[in-house]
Amino acid sequence: MQCPKFELKNGKTVQLSRVVLGTGKFYSEQDKSNALEILDEYVRLGGNCIDTGRQYGLSENIIGEWLETRKCRDKVSILTKGGHPSLKQPNKSRLSKQDLCADLEASLSAFSTNFVELYALHRDDESMPVSEIMPTLHQFIEDGKVGAIGTSNWTEERISAANDYAKKNKLTEFSFNNPGFSLADCNHPPWPGCVMAEESMLAWHRENAVPLFAWSPQASGFFSGKYSPDDTANREMVEVYYSDSNWSRLQKATKLAEKLTCTPTQVALAYVCNQPFPSFAIIGARTKEHLQQAFEASRISLDHQAMHWLTDQKLTTDGVV
């Protein structure tokens, strides 16, 4: 499956791998040794886009050290995020010009670079007018510090409103979106302030061909075989993913995996990568094996019939498309 091309605002075109390396787990110095090995393996397998965020502890610093020691800044694109409320004041918005500028400069310093390809707002504050947000992001583009701007955990209505304002005022528009998305639907978002890609958002992506960078594309291991309806030990999984619809999707993914000689988790990842718009799966792999399996899954081609069968409640699990 060919990887989609991504147009940056500086005229540069990058072709990003379907598997994006998520680094939210690279949270502390204790993770550094394994983190560096995972980064090396990711590039060896052909990956070229790293997802991180100012909120992710020491993740940006570990990535910066890796970029410096491996001398590979030209081999990868960076997607980082700012504007997340602080842990001390989780209800206080941080989308002001001052906060966003501080976050971006801190990220650039951690990476020891003066430019990141993709920059997203990590959270939204719907009480804040988009007119107070978009000029700051446009300036990041104009200053040559950011290649493209996007959103993480924004609704499609807010993204559209922001882009309408930007278009009318000749400012840079959002050109990618980073919601939670997987084959398993969430009963509710796993964390406060998160936005999951439901059907209305997917329809918006189809209509506008906006790239989607999916966090939690494997539904926190729901398709791994570790969970069953009568196993309720993990309360977070029960509350977020346990539903008749998702058990049906797991059964179908398992049957399709048998036909394709892969795992249900790989089917779930392939589902994310086979959307009718540019789509990328952000994988928080802890082992080299998990990374290798993700790249294998990203190369699985699912046709429209298979995609429809996996999610349509009216279609039974009998037979495999």
Q: Nearest CA to 49 among 182, 190, 176, 204? A: 176
pLDDT per residue as tens digits for the range 193-238: 999 999 999 999 999 999 999 999 999 999 999 999 999 999 999 9
8: left (phi over 0), alpha (psi -120 to 50) or beta: beta
Give the DSSP H/E element, type plus range, for residue 297: helix 288-298
pLDDT per residue as tens digits for the range 84-119: 999 899 989 999 999 999 999 999 999 999 999 999
pLDDT at 2 over 70: no
Helices 288-298, 32-44: crossing angle, 10 deg rounding: 30
Q: Decide if domain 5-229+266-303 falls under CATH 3.20.20.100.
A: yes
Q: Where are the domains of the chain?
A: 5-229+266-303
pLDDT at 27 over 90: no
Within 13 Å of residue 55, how many CA atoms lie on the same side as its CB? 21
Q: Is 154 exposed, middle or buried (0-12, 13-18, 19+ CB in 10 A)?
A: buried
Give the tokens for residue 300.
Answer: 């699985």
Q: Which residue is associated with the tokens 């570990």? A: 62
User: Looking at residue 20, what DSSP letter applies?
Assistant: E
Angle value at C-alpha 273, between 269 and 278, nearest 5 degrees:
155
pLDDT at 3 over 80: no
User: Looking at residue 185, what DSSP letter applies?
Assistant: P
Classify 278 as helix, strand or coil: coil
CA distance 194 to 99: 20
131: CB partners within 8 A, 6+ apart: 165
In the chain, the amino acid numbered 165 is Y
pLDDT at 1 over 90: no
Compute the average pLDDT of residues 295-307. Answer: 97
46: left (phi over 0), alpha (psi -120 to 50) or beta: left
Angle value at C-alpha 73, between 79 and 78, nearest 5 degrees:
0
pTM of the model: 0.96
